[in-house]
Amino acid sequence: MKRYARVMEVVGLAMVASLVVVAIFARQLAPHDPTRAVAQTFGDPAPPSWEFPMGTDALGRDVLSRVIYGAQISLTVGVAAMLVTMTIGVLFGLASGFFGGKVDFILMRITDVMLTLPGLLLAMAFVSVLGPSLVVLLFVIGLVSWTGIARVVRAEALSVSQRDFVTAARALGAPSHRLIARHVLPNVMPLIIVMAALGTSGTLLLDASLSFLGLGVPPPTPSWGRMIEEATIYFRVAPWLATFPGLAIFYAVMGFNLLGYGAIARRRQT
């Protein structure tokens, strides 16, 4: 089982690394301009061919190039939103687990409230009210995704705070902020890194869902979610339009999930 967990982690890491490479070198890798009509079939989506391996869309744009460029915005939003998520979740979890008592009670009730609200619905409401832009997306996704991380970090911080070395440092007169920064946080860090991988799979999915609903980063930036939304009216005549961007989302989410769950499975064994 331990070896299998290791395999999951390595495969996940390779998948994520390949995505990062594609996003960074999109300009070199994409055979065509993702925002311009390059096929001679204007108005009619063309099926995959040697020239266009993933076909072309209704505007004559190359689907492969759009999928490659889509990695840029997906990874940017996914990772940045994950950082917002982690910041809120880790702050809540550390404070709750370390201070306990009233602080813990109030912070955890706020967490319960957020857990009760369907994340996507709340995100849709906030994005539509505030208007879709990169900054709004990052903060809204962060705002609705932090609860799971807060709970996990709280449990870990709680157990670390009761260990002897923390008690010893406290007895020596170390102030709370120093105890958290020097003793609790470094011990919770490995878990935070694992949660970051899982968090990114969540933020990626949420971003893709919002894009699909027309609430993602506005055009002409190619985004996987919106490509599928645009493809839905062609699902009878041009199924390749929805298939390839969806595979890309699936690949990205699966990569981060393998990385995160592999690491958790390995932690459980040791």
Partner 1 sequence: MLTYLVRRIVFGIVVLIGTSLITFAIAFLIPADPAVAMAGAKADPQTLATIRHELGLDRPVYIQYARYAFRAAHGDLGRSYIRRENVMHLIASRFPATAILAAAAMVASLILGILMGVAAAAWHGRAPDHLLLALSLAMVSIPVFWLGTLLLMGAAAITRTFPLGGFDGWESLILPTITLALGSAGYYSRILHTNLSDAMRQDYIRTARGKGLSQREVMTRHAMANALLPLITLAGLDLAGMLSGVVLTETVFNWPGIGRLAFEAIFNLDIPLIMGTVLFAAFLVVIANLIVDILYAWLDPRIRLEEIG
Contacts with partner 1, residue ranges (CB under 8 A): 1, 4, 8, 109-110, 112-113, 115-122, 124-126, 128-130, 201, 205, 208-209, 212-215, 225, 228, 231-232, 235-236, 239, 242-243, 246, 249-250, 253-254, 257-258, 261
Residue 5 CA to residue 48 CA, distance in Å, equals 37
Q: Are 203 and 77 spatial neighbours (Cβ–Cβ below 8 Å)?
A: yes
Residue 85 or 201 with smaller CB distance to partner 1: 201
- Least spacing, CB of residue 265 vs partner 1, in Å: 8
User: Which residue lies nearer to partner 1 by CB, 98 or 261?
Assistant: 261
Dihedral, CA atoms, 235, 134, 118, 12, nearest 10 degrees? 70
Cβ–Cβ under 8 Å, residues 145 and 204? no
- Separation CA 90–CA 96 (nearest Å): 10
Distance between CA 31 and CA 201 in Å, rounded? 28
Nearer Cβ to partner 1 (137/258): 258
Least distance in angstroms from the C-beta of 228 to partner 1: 6
Q: How far is CA 74 from CA 16, 35, 62, in A?
A: 12, 17, 18
Which residues, 6 or more positions from 121, have their beta carbon under 8 angstroms from its beta carbon?
none
Q: Report the residue number, 85 or 257, with the smaller CB distance to partner 1.
A: 257
Smaller CB separation from partner 1, 160 or 248: 248
Q: For the CB of residue 147, give the shortest distance to partner 1 in the complex, in Å.
A: 10
Least spacing, CB of residue 27 vs partner 1, in Å? 26
Q: How far is the CB of 254 from partner 1 (least distance, A)?
A: 4
Query: What is the CB neighbour count within 10 angstroms for residue 117?
Result: 13
User: In angstroms, what is the minimal distance from the CB of 49 to partner 1?
Assistant: 20
Which residue type occupies 64?
L
Residues for the chain: how many in total?
270
Q: How far apart are CA 216 and CA 223, in angstroms?
A: 8
As to burial, measured by CB atoms within 10 angstroms (0-12 exposed, 13-18 middle, 19+ buried), residue 122 is middle
Smallest distance from partner 1 to CB 113, Å: 3
Name which of 131 and 173 has its Cβ closer to partner 1.
131
Residue 223 tokens, joined: 């985004």
Q: Distance (Å, rounded) from C-alpha 110 to C-alpha 78?
A: 24
**Residue 105 or 165: which CB sits closer to partner 1?**
105
